[in-house]
Amino acid sequence: MSTAKWEEKKDSEFGKLLENYFSALPSVGDTITGTVLSVSKGEVRLDINGLVTGVIRGAEMFNEATEYAGLKIGDTIEATVLEAENENGEMELSFRVAGHRKAWDAMLGLSKSGEIVDVKIYDANKGGLMAQLGALRGFIPVSQLSPEHYPRVPGGDKQKIFDRLKEYVGSTFRTKVLDVNEKESKIIFSEKAVWEDEQKSIIDSYKVNDIVEGEVSALTSFGAFVRFGELEGLVHISELAWQRIDHPRDVVKVGDKVSAKVIQIDGSKIFLSMKQLMEDPWASVASKYTVGTLVKGKVLKVNPFGLFVELDKDIHGLAHVSELSDTPIDINAFAQPGDTLDFEIVTIEPKEHRLGLRIPGVKGNTPVAEEKKEA
């Protein structure tokens, strides 16, 4: 072979080697695996597949110092390429970017596996709690808190809810990762999901129509919570008593021992009724009251449309404003809560739990004779 041909062949093989070398080199943004060559206070050097030396230094190392504190020569670790070549001819790498990628991948894995994780509460707002897991931060909406931490505030006052939530800052909650959206940097944790799993076997031991004995644990404007065993159920205001009430405190108070009937189970939510364990007084209302008779009643509440009136502790009626006078009146001047007045019964509707009243002598809008006939 001539010298010229030999040189040409050598150049061609060298060119292929160079081409293979550069094609094997990682690109900026790639996550690579390297072997630790040296570890010092300010930097870590890696051998990347025998092709090039990479270096991690400064913030790219220190921001992940805890995770990589125990590195030693020979360890295999991951890093992300920041620059193909720095001023020293080395590849510039980052633990921080690789750690970020790793953290999001791990979070996505947790959302799929349903594994229970401990998160640290670092802040709060009126909608829930900010929580941290490793290097990433997420949110626990109020709706995803367990009954133990759910802020039951009378009237739903947002400031009071916020004050209650702030008390949890610094606490550690057991949660599941409910949703992960890396693009929007959003992670939703759920404490309630953990509670539901742990309570499922207990909840499954109850069924609709079961009778439970418990204690009133909290009152809200919409009902009373009753704790029985390890569970808690809601007695809606409409299920507390047969008569109309303005607030649950009119019937029960926190600490009262009560009996209730399970009327619905919806996942972790248990709905109870106290009134269904009581005899419906409206079933026998016809034996106590008759359309056309005169009765005395105590005004419970004054509304623009009429008076709510107590005939006895179980039976309440309504005197519509049109049944109070044949001429326009100022209803607030006409009667006050606590007043006892004479009324005529004009309608009785047991199934609807309604009883209509009229001031005697007022013509009104309801013909008594027709109601008598229907009754």
Write the CA distances from 38 to 2, 41, 56, 57, 307, integer angstroms. Answer: 48, 10, 11, 12, 87
Looking at residue 59, what is its pLDDT? 67
Q: For the chain, how far is it from start to end, CA to CA, in angstroms?
A: 124
The label of the residue with tokens 């990433």 reads 136
Q: How far apart are the C-alpha atoms of 42 and 56, rounded to whole Å?
A: 9
Q: How far apart are the C-alpha atoms of 370 and 227, rounded to whole Å?
A: 48
Work out the number of other CB atoms within 10 angstroms of the CB of residue 242: 20
In tens, the pLDDT along 199-253 reads 887 888 899 999 999 999 989 889 999 999 888 999 999 999 988 888 899 899 9
Quote the tokens at residue 196. 């539901």
Looking at residue 375, what is its pLDDT? 35
CA dihedral 81→85→86→88, nearest 10 degrees, is 130
Residue numbers in the chain where pLDDT is lower than 70: 1-24, 59-69, 97-99, 154-155, 367-375
Q: CA triplet 341, 343, 346: central angle to 5 degrees?
A: 160
Q: CA triplet 126, 130, 135: central angle to 5 degrees?
A: 165
Looking at residue 33, what is its pLDDT? 86
Looking at residue 21, what is its pLDDT? 44
**170 phi-psi bin (left φ>0, alpha ψ -120 to 50, beta other):** left
3-state percent helix, strand, coil for the chain, nearest multiple of 5: 25, 40, 35
91-94 and 52-57 beta bridge pairing: parallel
What are phi and psi for residue 67, nearest 5 degrees?
-65, -30
- Full DSSP string of 322-349: GGT-SS---HHHH--TT-EEEEEEEEEE
Q: How far apart are the C-alpha atoms of 320 and 306, rounded to whole Å?
A: 4
What are phi and psi for residue 68, nearest 5 degrees?
-110, 20
